[in-house]
Amino acid sequence: MSLATVAAASGEEIVPFDVDRAYKPVFRALTQARSRFGGKRAALVDGDERVLTYDEIVRASLALGHALKAGTRAGEAVGVMLPSGAGAVIAFFAVSAYGRVPAMLNFTAGAAAIKAALQMAQIKRIVTAHKFIELGKFEALIDELKDSAEIVYLEDVREKLTIFDKAFAAVGQFLPGAVTARPAHATPAVILFTSGTEGDPKGVALSHLNILSNVEQVRSHIALYESDILFNPLPTFHCFGLTVGVVMPLLLGIKVVLHPTPLQPREIVRRIKTSGATILLSTDTFISQYARAGDQGDLNSLRLAVCGAERLRDETRALLRKKYNIELLEGYGVTEAAPVIAANQPGANRAGTVGRLVQGMECRLEPVEGIPNAGRLYVRGPNVMLGYIKADNPGVIDPPHGGWHDTGDVVAIDEEGFIAIKGRLKRFAKIGGETVSLAVVENCASALWPDYAHAAVTIPDGRKGEQIVLVTTCPDAQRTDLIGWVHNHGVPELAVPRRILQVDSVPVLGTGKTDYTKVQKMVKESMESVATPGDAAK
């Protein structure tokens, strides 16, 4: 099915992908958007309902950026540790405007992980806000970080803006090219950090070309209109929340409504309704909470709800369809691809898949032993990162070999190009010589106990190599129930976990993804506390 066929089926006009639009710095793209859509146009709505125009965003970014650049050099990484909101957006563009590189720090990751990120990217300065630290109760975190980096508060910088800072903003308001830096399109525009769901996080250096290419790829994949209003509750330290949730709407003339946390379902539903938002970015975990929190009709303004970062469950699709008549679009991306790789589309929305590749990308599959009709996915395109920054070589960007990024995901691609994710390569268990997807284990548990959270991990087994442990919040979960379910649905019994561990909550990262490192630790501690292995089995 061609792109034109999809557009015809959905009745929507889709703009062809044009990579030439991406050969510029990100800040220049913002000022060009202001010129195109008008400086007085409302561009952003903050969490407190304050509305900012393009002029206000550009002017604030220029003044703040000029003040922040003192004591730093061109190309240096500057940490930004703020929730989704005007402060984070202005700080991102402020750092970028004068040729520094914003490094978006995950404040939910804990002091050890943030310190590792600081060392990895050689970050000496962190931009944050007193109000954020106070409301989030991050005083202890700041105390741990202040010996590793200079902490700069937005409120203090604003109070101390000099006449020169304001003069640069005034000149730059009309002649941005006269005062701002002009970094090459292939140089770093931002540093993000992988979530570390299965191990140590790494720094990901994305270029101006990477980010702007992905904006163009999304625009060419799904019809977007200047009349749209995009609601984004995802954090800016998450690539989906930054590129698709902030940069894309600002550059395309789409008003963006930002919310500081995805963890307030009732407030988010209220703001979606009152703002008249037409597009929602979310994850399965969060959107299922919003659907349950809202009343019939509360989400009626939405024409698109796009979910990524984790598998979209059938139960979530059914809930949104029944209660709000909304068809969810599942997409797929990785931080290393800035992030969107594939997505379903209106008129070409196939449940159980993440849609087809966005334009400008190519892929290849490498066979994986024990997993038939699928392969390990490699991708290449203008949105694929400059490279990793690793702890053992701080500040140095290690580019992907030949431009190909190994996603680590095992996928199947059908004859029409729809991609089905089978699971992370690391998320397959080897049991008695057979390969079992841990995602399938979780899917079975979700189907049987849809109102609870589940995570499957493995532990060593001296007889069969590995055994599967299901961690669940369902207090009544029994192994015998799972055995009966898989028998009735044609799923191999190997997908039934050997043990079930009931917990109060399954740990998640700030992005909504399951934190498998913590899950593994919970299982290990539980196993160590059990006198005999059989005691934990249900």
pLDDT digits (tens, 9 = 90+) for 462-501: 777 778 889 999 988 888 888 888 788 877 777 788 889 8
**In terms of Cα–Cα distance, which of 447, 476, 452, 506 is closest to 289?**
452
Predicted pLDDT at 535: 45
Looking only at the bridges linking them, the beta strands covering 279-282 and 304-307 are parallel
Predicted pLDDT at 314: 84
Tokens of 75: 């190309």
Distance CA 137, CA 139 (A): 6
Predicted pLDDT at 312: 85
Decide if 473 is inside a domain.
yes
Distance CA 286, CA 307 (A): 9
**In terms of Cα–Cα distance, which of 383, 381, 387, 391 is closest to 401?**
387
Decide if 162 is inside a domain.
no
Decide if 418 is inside a domain.
no
C-alpha to C-alpha distances, 268 to 2, 52, 244, 281, 312, nearest whole angstrom: 36, 20, 18, 12, 20
Predicted pLDDT at 432: 65
Decide if 233 is inside a domain.
no
> Are the C-beta atoms of residues 349 and 329 closer than 8 Å to each other?
yes
Decide if 193 is inside a domain.
no
Q: Which residues pair with 329 in a beta bridge?
A: 306
Decide if 530 is inside a domain.
yes
Decide if 147 is inside a domain.
no
The domain of 480 spans: 432-536
Domain count, the chain: 1
Give me Rg for the CA atoms of the chain. Answer: 23
What residues of the chain score a pLDDT lower than 50? 1-11, 531-538
| CATH number of the domain encompassing residue 531 | 3.30.300.30
Distance CA 128, CA 135 (A): 12
C-alpha to C-alpha distances, 512 to 173, 230, 242, 311, 333, nearest whole angstrom: 38, 19, 15, 11, 15
**In terms of Cα–Cα distance, which of 392, 385, 426 is closest to 409?**
426
Distance CA 224, CA 483 (A): 46
Tokens of 532: 């005999």
**Which residues, including other chains, have CB under 8 Å from residue 211's CB and lie 6 or more apart?**
26, 189, 190, 243, 247, 338, 383
Predicted pLDDT at 87: 95
Half-sphere exposure of 511 (CA within 13 A, CB side): 25
DSSP string, 379-420: EESTTS-SEEE-TTSTT-EEPPGGG-EEEEEEEEE-TT--EE
Decide if 467 is inside a domain.
yes
